[in-house]
Structure 1
Amino acid sequence: MTQQTLSRPPAEPAKGTTATLRGRALLSAVNGQNLSLIGALAVVLILFGTLNDNYLSWSNIQVIGEAVTITGLLAVVQTVIIICGGLDISVGSQAGLASVVSAMAFTSAGSNSLVGMAAAVGVGIVIGVLNGLIIVYGRVNATIATLAGLAAYKGVAQLVSGGSAQGYVLNNDVFIFLSRGKVAGLPVMVWILALVAVAVHVLLRYTDIGRNIYAIGGNATAARLAGININKYLISVYAMIGVVAAVAGILLTARTGSGQPTSGSEGLELKAITAAALGGCVLKGGKGGVGGTLLAVTLLGALENGLTVEGINAFWQSVAQGMLLVIAVVIQQRRSRERAVGLPD
């Protein structure tokens, strides 16, 4: 009897078990944070769509998509470094410097777009690695190091450009394609954001590198004891940020037609951090994802566009962004059940 029991093949799963598991996987992917963002986005779309008939038109939706591309790129890589337990406040200045370099190199090389883009990416790599080295080997807090970078890279961009826009790139087919081209009815810029987002999502969710990044942000001591080279990961992530910030700078150049030292890149760091925090990234690290960040970027873009369409003072957009960042952090603190600073338990 015992022998027969041991050799009996395992029972087949009950009907509906597979469907149930798939349903649970879907619910875990679309978590409460993302559902909240979807709900908020729906409210914004309905509100401004009611106030203005053209708000939900296909042409305006494309405008929103193009407008959030640069912020979206920076928010995606900001998500990675926040998950890793770090922060990069200098991403906007990096994009501005890359924009200037791309336009100046393009002009110097006789309107060669590849030279301009390669120069921008090269500068991005150098900046990213420099940030990582300062943080890792200089033992400087990431917030302080990148805050210094915010000022320094903006200053460098203004010095090399004389504080004014550089070059004109919309006489080149590549930059024209980046600025105005469409693929399958969607702007090229939107496709670039989608490709970068998918690549980063796959990296985080389906590779050992991604699992190690979550481990570093979740518990750096445990990650180090597990044999993960934290220094190498941090420098690599900051280098990746530099590359993506350079791509954002190139798109900024294509969109505006020239290299912009500050115009267009001012405040991008706040938008990127706000989007990552709204998207579910815990600022202490270890939690977050690209999907939530993209939803938050879309929400911010839809809100900003709606305020602009209704003619509301642009200064209120900054107020709204600041309030949303505070709300996102407050929600995180409540969920973590941490004691409020200066208040009794």
Structure 2
Amino acid sequence: MNQAYELRQGRISFSKLLSSGNLVVNNILFLALFVLIGYFALASSHFLSVSNFTVLLTNYAAIGVVAAAMTLLMIAGHVDLSVGSNIAFSGMMTALAVINFGAPPSVAIVIGILSGAFIGGIIGVACGILKLSPIIVTLGMLSLLRGATLLVNPTEVYGLGDTFFYIGNGAFLGIPVLLWIVALAFLASALFISTTVWGRYIYAVGINPQAAFLAGLPVGRLLLSLHVITGAAAGLAGVLLAARLDGVSPGALGMQMELQALTIILLGGVAFAGGRGRILSVMAAWVFLAVLDNGLTLLNVPPFVQLVASGMALVFAASIDAIGTYVAPKLAQRRQVAEQIEQRRLREAKTPEA
């Protein structure tokens, strides 16, 4: 009986060990963020100030809006690599509506968002309805949209007015307007995917689109809608960046933002193949990259070193994706086996000997 008790104790310890390992796997990004904040806090006396955190999050607000929407698309198994160019195109449409056509700010903002949504709709038809490869289609759109933006207006446009300046640099209730917008974007994505039927469809399509189609789910309409939402988010990001900078540079606005969005989403634990992901983790990844960029700037790290750090973050994101794909399920399976063995031994211990 004592031996059985010791074995049970050993098995329970092993089960706890597995649970701890799974906890670390699921929260490795939060641990890394905590370490990163601690390091920069020690390295720079200005890092932990409220004003600095406000600036670093505000600077990353536009890409946060894109990441919040594109996360839903990637969980469904698709990706949009043209969002950076879409940001430039939509921002330019917004600026031209104000400068060249004298449109009111509200109308110009709607034009910018609808421009992005229209591009997303084109991609959605090609990828969601016609079943073309999202990577190939969106890579083509990346170059097409950047060229179209330069064709529409090859020079900088600036001086968008007080309304746009307030959106990009003003505050509401003491909090920057941009932070309100990005917080609402993450909140909307989280509520949509966790509380709606279509949110459950997103996971089902990401896990197995063929099975989802055979089960009668509206796979094509869902993917089309998600591409439109991602495009609209890119359009809104173009508006926000134009407001933040009080102008648009067609060759520079949104440059490499598709890679930033992809890094944030993968770093947040969303599987590139789809079917897995949490909005909270993506939000933590957004903060992680903002902290990394801001901390390196405060330490006067050269820009090319910051590029290296961004590349390492993408590799780290791929590592987290691999861990989530292979290690976490194995830990869960081993924990389940350990619990089954423990339950069997408990039953055997309770059975009286003949």
Is residue 232 from structure 1 mapped to residue 221 from structure 2 by the alignment?
Answer: yes
Of residues 173, 189, 192 in structure 2, which corresponds to 1:200? 189
User: Which is richer in helix?
Assistant: 2
Alignment partners' CA distance in 2, 1:199 and 1:48: 31
- Residue 136 of structure 1 deviates from its aligned partner by 3.1
CA contact (8 A) 1:104 1:259 kept: no
Task: Report the 3-state secondary structure (helix = DSSP H, G, I; strand = E; otherwise coil) of the residue aligned with 1:54.
Answer: coil
**Superposed counterparts of 1:12-161, under 5 Å:** 32=24, 35-110=27-102, 112-161=104-153
1:166 equivalent in structure 2: 157
CA offset digits 1:303-324 (Å, max 9, x no partner): 1011111111112222222222
The count of residues paired between Structure 1 and Structure 2 equals 307
Alignment partners' CA distance in 2, 1:188 and 1:122: 21
Alignment partners' CA distance in 1, 2:324 and 2:95: 46
TM-score normalised according to structure 1 size: 0.85
Q: Please identify, of 304-313 and 130-139, the stretch whose mean Cα deviation from structure 2 is larger.
A: 130-139
Alignment partners' CA distance in 1, 2:280 and 2:215: 28
CA offset digits 1:184-222 (Å, max 9, x no partner): 322110110000110111000110010001100011122
Of residues 297, 307, 323 in structure 2, which corresponds to 1:318? 307
- Residue 35 of structure 1 deviates from its aligned partner by 2.7
TM-score normalised according to structure 2 size: 0.83
Counterpart amino acid of 1:96?
A
Distance 1:31 1:149, change over 3 A: farther
- Residue 270 of structure 1 deviates from its aligned partner by 0.6
Q: Please identify, of 42-51 and 200-209, the stretch whose mean Cα deviation from structure 2 is larger.
A: 42-51
- Residue 331 of structure 1 deviates from its aligned partner by 3.3
- Residue 111 of structure 1 deviates from its aligned partner by 5.4
Alignment partners' CA distance in 2, 1:93 and 1:122: 15
Structure 1: 5+ residue stretches without partners: 1-26, 339-345
Is residue 248 from structure 1 mapped to residue 237 from structure 2 by the alignment?
Answer: yes
Q: Please identify, of 202-211 and 252-261, the stretch whose mean Cα deviation from structure 2 is larger.
A: 252-261
Alignment partners' CA distance in 2, 1:335 and 1:37: 12
CA offset digits 1:204-245 (Å, max 9, x no partner): 011001000110001112211211111111111000011111
1:331 equivalent in structure 2: 320
Q: Please identify, of 120-129 and 261-270, the stretch whose mean Cα deviation from structure 2 is larger.
A: 261-270
CA offset digits 1:267-286 (Å, max 9, x no partner): 11111111101101011101
Pair member with larger Rg: 2
Distance 1:240 1:335, change over 3 A: closer
CA offset digits 1:140-172 (Å, max 9, x no partner): 21111101111111111111111x221311x22
Task: Report the 3-state secondary structure (helix = DSSP H, G, I; strand = E; otherwise coil) of the residue aligned with 1:266.
Answer: coil
- Residue 183 of structure 1 deviates from its aligned partner by 2.1
Counterpart amino acid of 2:94?
S
Structure 2: 5+ residue stretches without partners: 1-18, 328-354
- The Cα RMSD (Å) is 1.8
CA contact (8 A) 2:267 2:320 kept: no
1:293 equivalent in structure 2: 282
Q: Please identify, of 267-276 and 132-141, the stretch whose mean Cα deviation from structure 2 is larger.
A: 132-141
